[in-house]
Structure 1
Amino acid sequence: MDATRKERLKAAGINVDGALERFMGNAGMLERYFGRFLEEKSYAALAAAVAADDAAAAAAAVHTLKSVCGSIGCDRMQELALAQEAKMRAGDWPGAKAMMPELQEEYDRVCAVLRG
């Protein structure tokens, strides 16, 4: 990861320093995980489960998504997933479903940043 990419990721809200710490400073490995995030299926599974009104499947998917985002420094996406998961655990399914537009927007933004 060159300095320009690192600064671009940071400017877009990716916690690169925190992620690099979790990856023991291995920027190449972090870049590979950024690529894996783009192929990761937990967001698609979450969206499908919410559309199907399947709260159990949505809870499993959002839990995975939250963890993946945390690992690679996508802090805002992780915060949203954490909030949605909390709503699900509290039995607020309508509230959890209502978060999907914001999650979709952040997911699209993160993917665009990682591709750039």
Structure 2
Amino acid sequence: MDAKEKEILMDAGIDVDGGIERCMGNEALYKKLIKRIWQDTNYQEVLSGMEAGSMDQVLKAAHTLKGISGNLGFTRLYEITEEIVKQIREEHYEEIGDKIAELTENYEKVMSALDKTGNH
């Protein structure tokens, strides 16, 4: 991974070094895994769960997205989904809308960075 690509990803809140480390230093594996986010539907499931008023669906999808984000080093996305999961489990539903807006903003930022760097 060249320095420019790494910088773009890091600017989007992606811990590239941590992600590669979790792949046992295998950069090719890391790049293969981050490209899989394009096929993942958990973000869309969070949104459709919110639209349907199904906190169970939001919880399940946000929890899965949290795990994926954590493993790939998508730090801010991980933090936001972790907060969504916590709020749902504690039944603090009134704050979920703001967190979903943050989730959307960060998800789009991450996806844009992946697109800019050819990781799609």
Fold match by TM threshold 0.5: yes
Report 1:23-42 matches (<5 A): 23-42=23-42
Deviation larger for 1-10 or 84-93 = 1-10
Q: RMSD of aligned C-alpha atoms?
A: 1.1
Structure 2 residue runs without a partner (length 5+): none
- Equivalent position of 1:52 in the other structure: 52
Q: Which has the higher contact order (CA 8 A, sep 6+)?
A: 2
Deviation at 1:4, TM superposition (A): 2.5
User: What is the number of equivalent residue pairs in this alignment?
Assistant: 116
Moved more, 96-105 or 72-81: 96-105
| Matched residue, 2:106 | 106
TM-score, scaled to structure 2: 0.90
Deviations 1:52-94 (A, max 9, x none): 0001111100000100111111100100000111100001122
Q: Structure 1: where are the runs of 5+ without partners?
A: none
Distance 1:72 1:60 in 2: 19
What residue is the counterpart of 2:61 in the other structure? 61
Q: Which residue matches 2:81?
A: 81
Q: Identity across aligned pairs (percent)?
A: 31
Q: Could you tell me which amino acid in structure 2 is paired with residue 58 of structure 1?
A: V
Report the TM-score when normalising by structure 1: 0.93
Give the 3 Å change call, closer, same or farther, for CA 9–56 of structure 1 in structure 2.
Answer: same
Over 3 Å counting, the alpha-carbon distance change for 1:3 and 1:98 in structure 2 is: closer
Task: Extract structure 1 runs of 4+ deviating beyond 6 A.
Answer: none
